[in-house]
């Protein structure tokens, strides 16, 4: 027994606002990382379907689909003896509890859970990376995003990849074993099967990813903590259609309160989110009229000031590392991880020793934890430099480093 990787497609972001599950996907992953079983069904939420253009489920699809209480006992059996896992597990756990309680099933305490979004920090990803970005990073196919069965299967493969990658890492064997033991010990409610069959969707018909979804899911957010990561994941979900309704705004505010995020923290998260979007929009070197319109709309939805929005949609791309270097604006935090690349004037060992003496950490490879790359040629096309640009990590020259450490 191991993990039950779950994905819910829903009519909105908070069950307390009467949002419901419209599709469930479950994939079983064993203790050794083997994927062993898949199950999925559409659910009749007995209300409107919410963002249909995102999840692609039509009213005709759910007319003969079971309601949650029809399959609650079978669903609980699929979870029993396993750790509940999901990408942004906090979101799915809210709906898990709400749907079971509405169907007359009581969950005792908090179900043991694992979040592949949170785990991503340990495997070369940011703290709030989307499932699409995580799968792309680790070469996992995500065939039909926003289809519960497909998302569940992709997250299961991601979890399996994490298990196998960490097999020889100190302490990780105990981590996985203790998680599995907690899942075996938890008691999901036992119900009487109704005999009603699930109804998988005939085909995944979710709409193609919009510009906003593409640039938001690729954003790299290294520094957010747990509460901010959860808030950001919900913000991404709300903005998939380029719009935050009044109800969604109220729900985001409620979640922020639950997470203990003050207004100043939310304002900072919104600013950083907007900067991420601007950088992604400029990734191809061009900002189209449609991209400008989307950025302006999102800036307004995030309640940013007009000056910040205007700066993002002008004809100037975000400052490049070379510009920061010339302007002298770049700052390196204490204890930062720094990568050296290229044939420098001084020996690599000299610079590594100099960095260590100042409390910095020289590192041989570029990961998203790296704060700065120092290159013999800042315009280098080396693999390290390419990855740094992909991750948005500044690249500076040896002369800058010499002045910085002087």
Domain locations in the chain as residue ranges: 3-185, 211-318, 322-405
What phi and psi, each to the nearest 5 degrees, are found at residue 88? Answer: 70, 65
Residues 6+ apart with CB under 8 A from 194: 69, 70, 71, 73
How buried is 247 (Cβ within 10 angstroms: 0-12 exposed, 13-18 middle, 19+ buried)? middle
Query: 3-class DSSP state for residue 272?
Result: helix
pTM: 0.71
Judge whether 40 and 61 are in contact, CB under 8 Å.
no
Which residues make beta-bridge pairs with 375? 341, 397
Q: What is the CATH number of domain 322-405?
A: 3.40.50.10190
- Each residue's pLDDT, cut to its tens digit, for the chain (406 residues) gives 799 999 999 999 999 999 999 999 999 999 889 999 999 999 999 999 988 888 889 999 999 999 999 999 999 999 999 999 999 999 999 999 999 999 999 999 999 999 999 898 888 776 667 888 888 888 899 888 889 999 999 999 999 999 999 989 999 999 999 999 999 999 999 999 999 999 999 865 544 555 455 544 444 454 455 788 888 888 888 887 767 788 888 889 898 888 888 888 888 888 888 877 787 777 667 888 888 888 888 888 888 888 888 888 888 776 544 444 444 445 688 888 899 988 888 888 899 999 999 999 988 888 777 888 888 877 666 777 777 777 778 888 888 888 888 7
CB-CB neighbours of 120 under 10 Å: 25
Q: What is the CATH number of domain 3-185?
A: 3.30.420.10
Residues 6+ apart with CB under 8 A from 127: 118, 120, 121, 221, 222, 223, 224, 225, 226, 228, 229
């Amino acid at each position: 027994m191991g993990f039950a990787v779950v994905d819910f497609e829903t009519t909105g972001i908070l069950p307390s606002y009467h949002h419901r599950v419209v599709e469930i996907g479950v994939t079983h992953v064993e203790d050794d990382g083997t994927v062993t079983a898949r199950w999925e069904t559409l659910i009749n939420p007995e209300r409107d379907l919410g963002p249909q253009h995102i999840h692609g489920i039509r009213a005709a699809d759910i007319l003969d689909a079971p309601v949650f209480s029809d399959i609650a006992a079978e669903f609980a059996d699929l979870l029993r003896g396993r750790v509940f896992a999901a990408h942004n597990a906090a979101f799915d756990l809210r709906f898990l509890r709400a749907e079971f309680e509405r169907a007359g099933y009581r969950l005792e305490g908090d179900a043991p859970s694992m979040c592949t979004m949170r785990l991503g920090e340990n495997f070369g990803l940011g703290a709030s990376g989307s499932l699409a970005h995580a799968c792309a990073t680790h070469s996992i196919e995500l065939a039909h995003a926003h289809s519960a069965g497909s998302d569940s299967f992709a997250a299961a493969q991601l979890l399996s990849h994490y298990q196998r990658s960490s097999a020889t890492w100190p302490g990780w064997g105990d981590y996985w074993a203790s998680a599995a033991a907690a899942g075996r010990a938890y008691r999901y409610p036992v119900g009487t099967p109704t005999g009603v069959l699930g109804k998988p969707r005939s085909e995944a018909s979710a709409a193609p990813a919009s510009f906003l979804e593409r640039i938001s899911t690729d954003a790299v957010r290294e520094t957010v903590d747990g509460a901010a990561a959860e808030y950001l994941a919900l913000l991404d979900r709300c903005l998939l259609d380029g719009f935050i309704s009044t109800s969604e705004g109220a729900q985001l505010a409620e979640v922020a309160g639950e997470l203990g995020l003050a207004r100043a923290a939310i304002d900072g998260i919104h600013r950083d989110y907007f900067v991420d979007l601007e950088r992604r929009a400029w990734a191809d070197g061009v900002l189209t009229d449609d991209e400008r319109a989307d950025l302006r709309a999102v800036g307004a939805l995030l309640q940013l000031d007009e000056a910040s929005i205007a700066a993002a949609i002008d004809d100037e791309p975000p400052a490049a590392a070379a510009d920061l270097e010339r302007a002298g604006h770049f700052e390196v935090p204490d204890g930062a991880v720094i990568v050296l690349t290229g044939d420098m004037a001084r020996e690599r060992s000299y610079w590594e020793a100099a960095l260590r003496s100042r409390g910095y950490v020289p590192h041989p490879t570029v990961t998203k934890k790296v704060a700065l790359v120092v290159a013999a040629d800042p315009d280098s096309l080396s693999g390290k430099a390419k990855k740094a640009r992909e991750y948005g990590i500044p690249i500076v020259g040896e002369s800058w480093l010499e002045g910085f450490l002087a």
